[in-house]
Structure 1
Amino acid sequence: MSETVNDIWEPHAPAAAGLRPLHAEGLDLRVSGAATARTVADGVVEVNAEGEGELRIEWRVPCVDATAFWTPEPRGTGWLPAAWSAPRRTSLAGGAPIAALIGTGDVALCAVAAERPDVLAGAGVVEETGEFRFWVQAAGRLTVRIDTSGRHFARCLADLSAWWGSGRAADIPEAARRPAYSTWYSMHQDITPERVETQAALGKELGLDVIIVDDGWMTADRTRGYAHCGDWEPVSLPDTAAHVRRVHELGVRYLIWYALPFIGKDSAAYQKLGRYALADAAHLGAIVADPRYPEVRDFLTDRLARAVEEWGMDGLKVDFVDCFARAEVPEPGPGADCAGVDEGVERLLAAVRRRITAANPEAMVEHRQPYVSPGLWPYVTMVRATDCPLSPQENRQRTVDLRLAAGPVPVHSDMLMWHPAEPPEQIACHLINVLFAVPQISVDLAAQSTAQREAIAFWLGVFRTHLDTLQLAELRPARPDLGYPLVTAVGEETVAVARYAALPVDASDPGWRTLLVANADADPDVRLTGGSGTAAVTVQDARGRIVRQSEVELDRAEPIPVPRGGLLTLRRD
């Protein structure tokens, strides 16, 4: 639920006029149009409304023991909004129509998702009654699922995402889940083949299997604007196909960046497409091209597909798709074949996906917050947390939030960067903070000390060895109101826990044979609760060096010291 609609404000949270009551599964709904409700699981109701004009589904729940309101947006989780807060609009190109009111014990007091991507939604505390009001609105047809089952909020959100995802997702190449190197923070626009190849080689040694070349490859300008976007000629990567072959010879996959909507005013493309402006991004030196026109879509598809078809690259980093999402859209002119922008965006992304996978069935496409709609899943193979340089807690919260709403799509961290003097313990903590995502790293690897390189290599090895547990197992993040100070992934025989505060670790799950505890807190004493039996203990520091090996009785274990940035591994028969 992405774009704030500033001109809608409801100071006393009145019900919208013309709604009628509808009762289902203990919910007192108010609906418009021809509406029906059915129970699809214990505590889960699906409401369908059809009719002319705007349709609305509205309900309230007691705001008792509530701790947080969750959405998948950057900085979307935490405080409880007031019912008079401006609603938010989602679309194919911005946001995802899902939210949850969370209570003590990390249960979902109420979780909700809309089937269609383009809705207007409001949520917040009703001051007069202490209730929490939800409403969802869209034109023509509207289906929502409302979950008041009282389960862990992550389980409720996973079920809502699964409801979205039937037959919807793209095939995900294995490389989309492998650690990646990005040039953005480490090079910005100062791209050369030699620099890219050097970092690709060094990264491969450390466990980085993919390189993503960002802005700067298509221009000699270094002023960080977008006036040169649109032509997409490899100005800074001469003899591009040979350069890509050299990277491939290292065993590294190659993605390249495109600011998809921008046609820069200093580009030759502007002379051709400048009249097809959805918006004028004057402060960026570009226009946002209007995807409702086939001429625009054909041009952009040809430009992007060229990277895979001609240069042999393994995919695209497609940036700024959310710039297509606008509250006010000009009427289409002659030649447009789509009434809505979302339809044009979908046709464009589908055409790009068809072209690149025809050339390379394993081709990858990266998207980024906030364009995380399930409607985009057929066209994307990974989604990245939006920029939060050198902010480990923010990266943690954004990647966990994304995991809860991304369904089958791999979630990538924002690029990890740090000061050259960063100690290996803190580098390890940067990586632990994105333990349940795919890490991207963006520092000059040639400038790293031996200790820094050891920390990078050790933790990337953990990511790779335990990929199935960290990325594919059931995710159980704790305390969203506190920014997830403890996160757990529960696999068939392996449980992984990341500890970001001095909290005990629950070892009671009977199914684990391996329990991993990554410690990103300054307190070294890891306390285990609920376990039984004997386990072999290995403690490694931030660089992977073993500092303890022993056995413990889990039901009466003393705290186990684990250095900051270190890993505790427990194994039992």
Structure 2
Amino acid sequence: MSETANDIWEPHAPTVADGLRPLSAEGLALKASGVATVRAVADGVVEVSAESPGDVRIEWRVPCVDATAFWTPEPRGTGWLPAAWSAPRRTGLAAGAPIAALIGTGDVALGAFAAERPDVLVGAGVVEETGEFRFWAQAEGRLTVRIDTSGRHFARCLADLAAWWGSGRTADIPEAARRPAYSTWYSMHQDITPERVETQAALGKQLGLDVIIVDDGWMTADRTRGYAHCGDWEPVSLPDTAAHVRRVHELGVRYLLWYALPFIGKGSAAYRKIGHHALADIAHLGAIVADPRYPEVRDFLTERLARAVEEWGMDGLKVDFVDSFVRAEPPAAGPEADCAGVDEGVERLLAAIRGRITAADPEAMVEHRQPYVSPGLWPYVTMVRATDCPLGPQENRQRTVDLRLAAGPVPVHSDMLMWHPAEPPEQIACHLINVLFSVPQISVDLAAQSTAQRETIAFWLGVFRAHLDTLQLGELRPARPDLGYPMVTALGAGTVVVARYAALPVDASGTGWRTLMVANADADPDVRLTGGSGTAAVTVQDARGRIVRQGEVELDRAQGIPVPRGGLLTLRRP
């Protein structure tokens, strides 16, 4: 392609081959290079395709009127309006997703789009000379984009674009992939032993954690971090591994094991075997990035990872750092390579791993993480996690909501929740409420939690489990992305769940709900209801699930109902 992701795209720079030509599209200033067509899909939705022997480019503009935020699914990608000369972003199979939206007052999409293929160079921003907002997408050979200017709620537009991606793709999601999980990373880091893992699995199961994910440290006795010991993937810290896994299974807990897939440590036997096939040398980590364009590399890594399920009885894999395969410009491939590019090698590797572990266990799980969130990965993944934001509730909220908007059928997991041992129950509840619309992962020493802390965890995990259909599978309606989503709503069959992160009124109108739940993560306890009618039974619980109020309310009288910080308001009507 003619630009790189680090280039600055000037507003007056020449277009691809100086050959952009206007296309006819009602209400849309649209141009494209090569042979291009426009097809109306629905009111305000068009599909544009362009084809050329070289690079093709599609560009369009919308009036930047009443605009409040620009949305992408990448970390820290939402809440500002970039300039048209801002550097474009390159997406690929293992890096980002080709989707974005310009959002206006009332949370409507002024313009949203997605590209059909994952490997696209995309740009967007305000044109200073005209006050318009310009989008463009560029790829080699052929490109199709779907553009939505229907003015609907931006979440609905993005959900439709994700459904367009999903047409013809499969995503096999085991039920356990939507269940709350315990992670060893923040609580243990590399200090892994069978006894510690089994203790936390047992305590977690009592609280509602059905899955345990054992992270870094199981494959080495070294505790100094770094990745010099990756590659061999021998269970150094988990002796008699299969028996250990059986003991965890006897608790009723599923078990996933962590792998830094691309890294081959320079202190490993694997380095001596495949280290000559390197995409990059990461000297400060003591490792290389293996080159998946070579069958020898893919076969070796597939064998190493499949052992966890095939030999030790694990229930799946946490596959980390997939994005590291594409962070550097690859060297020229040698004659033994059988892939045209790194993306193709990555896809073949992930497909081989997924095929092996599901042959051994059809319910086997695979976790991926931001920023490798491309829909091209959906066949190889069963959950995707927000990238690391330890003790960052607002970041966790924004990242999980952003992921939900573009993840289609793939469950979204929170980054692992951790807190100081003295954290009050109310704030622990707020940590959980901030990720209410994802699958929570917890990473604290459960044995060290007080009675009040354990009650809080158990209560809110019970809410996650009891209302999974609404929270994870219902229609998601986040509000005000420009403010980091101070309120988020999920609409289910007869149930509406609202999470309130600021002192905002809650809309109780509509005839579709029988149960309306409001989770209060704000210090202001006065939850004000608007727009409702009729009578509803009311229950208020504190952060630990203890009932502090019961009775009835008249919904047609705008009123405040006291709900403690970290507490839950439940309204039920006939």
TM-score, scaled relative to structure 1: 0.99
**SS of aligned partner of 1:431:** helix
Rounded to whole Å, the distance in 2 between the matches of 1:151 and 1:341 is 38
- Is the Cα–Cα contact under 8 Å of residues 13 and 84 in structure 1 kept in the other structure? no
Amino acid at match of 2:515: T
- Is the Cα–Cα contact under 8 Å of residues 8 and 85 in structure 2 kept in the other structure? no
- Partner of 2:455 in structure 1? 454
In the alignment, is residue 208 of structure 1 matched against residue 240 of structure 2? Answer: no
- Partner of 1:9 in structure 2? 9
**SS of aligned partner of 1:242:** helix
- Partner of 1:134 in structure 2? 135
Q: Deviations over 1:418-470 (max 9, x none)?
A: 00000000000000000000000000000000000000000000000000000
Rounded to whole Å, the distance in 1 between the matches of 2:303 and 2:58 is 42
554-563 vs 493-502, greater mean Cα deviation: 554-563
Q: CA deviation at 1:327?
A: 5.5
In the alignment, is residue 302 of structure 1 matched against residue 303 of structure 2? Answer: yes
- Partner of 1:501 in structure 2? 502
**SS of aligned partner of 1:54:** strand
Q: CA deviation at 1:13?
A: 6.1
- Is the Cα–Cα contact under 8 Å of residues 165 and 375 in structure 2 kept in the other structure? yes
Q: CA deviation at 1:103?
A: 0.3
- Partner of 2:249 in structure 1? 248
Rounded to whole Å, the distance in 2 between the matches of 1:176 and 1:10 is 44
Change over 3 Å in CA distance of 1:466–1:13 after alignment to 2? farther
- Is the Cα–Cα contact under 8 Å of residues 280 and 328 in structure 2 kept in the other structure? no
Rounded to whole Å, the distance in 1 between the matches of 2:285 and 2:423 is 33
| Matched ranges for 1:262-301 at <5 A | 262-301=263-302
Change over 3 Å in CA distance of 1:425–1:4 after alignment to 2? farther
Q: Deviations over 1:92-121 (max 9, x none)?
A: 011000000000000000001000000000
Rounded to whole Å, the distance in 2 between the matches of 1:105 and 1:266 is 56
Give RMSD over aligned pairs: 1.1
- Partner of 2:153 in structure 1? 152
**SS of aligned partner of 1:559:** strand
Rounded to whole Å, the distance in 1 between the matches of 2:13 and 2:509 is 45
- Is the Cα–Cα contact under 8 Å of residues 25 and 39 in structure 1 kept in the other structure? no
Amino acid at match of 1:432: I
**SS of aligned partner of 2:489:** strand
Rounded to whole Å, the distance in 2 between the matches of 1:326 and 1:498 is 36
Rounded to whole Å, the distance in 1 between the matches of 2:335 and 2:372 is 29
Change over 3 Å in CA distance of 1:8–1:237 after alignment to 2? same
- Partner of 1:168 in structure 2? 169
Rounded to whole Å, the distance in 2 between the matches of 1:379 and 1:509 is 39
439-448 vs 169-178, greater mean Cα deviation: 169-178
| Matched ranges for 1:72-471 at <5 A | 72-326=73-327, 328-471=329-472
Rounded to whole Å, the distance in 1 between the matches of 2:134 and 2:69 is 14
For structure 2, the residue ranges without an aligned partner over 5 or more in a row are: none
Rounded to whole Å, the distance in 2 between the matches of 1:316 and 1:486 is 33
**SS of aligned partner of 2:324:** helix
Q: CA deviation at 1:283?
A: 1.6
Rounded to whole Å, the distance in 2 between the matches of 1:567 and 1:169 is 37
In the alignment, is residue 52 of structure 1 matched against residue 59 of structure 2? Answer: no
**SS of aligned partner of 1:555:** coil
Rounded to whole Å, the distance in 1 between the matches of 2:293 and 2:286 is 22
Q: CA deviation at 1:329?
A: 1.8
**SS of aligned partner of 2:171:** coil
Change over 3 Å in CA distance of 1:105–1:4 after alignment to 2? farther
- Is the Cα–Cα contact under 8 Å of residues 45 and 146 in structure 2 kept in the other structure? yes
- Is the Cα–Cα contact under 8 Å of residues 11 and 127 in structure 2 kept in the other structure? no
- Partner of 1:487 in structure 2? 488
Rounded to whole Å, the distance in 1 between the matches of 2:190 and 2:327 is 28
Q: How many residues were matched structurally?
A: 571
Rounded to whole Å, the distance in 1 between the matches of 2:231 and 2:449 is 36
**SS of aligned partner of 2:403:** helix
Q: CA deviation at 1:7?
A: 3.0
Q: Deviations over 1:174-222 (max 9, x none)?
A: 0000000000000000000000000000000000000000000000011
Rounded to whole Å, the distance in 1 between the matches of 2:148 and 2:353 is 36
- Is the Cα–Cα contact under 8 Å of residues 25 and 45 in structure 1 kept in the other structure? no
Q: Among all aligned residue pairs of Structure 1 and Structure 2, give the percentage whose two residues are the same amino acid.
A: 89
| Matched ranges for 1:34-45 at <5 A | 34-45=35-46
**SS of aligned partner of 1:527:** strand
Moved over 6 A (4+): none
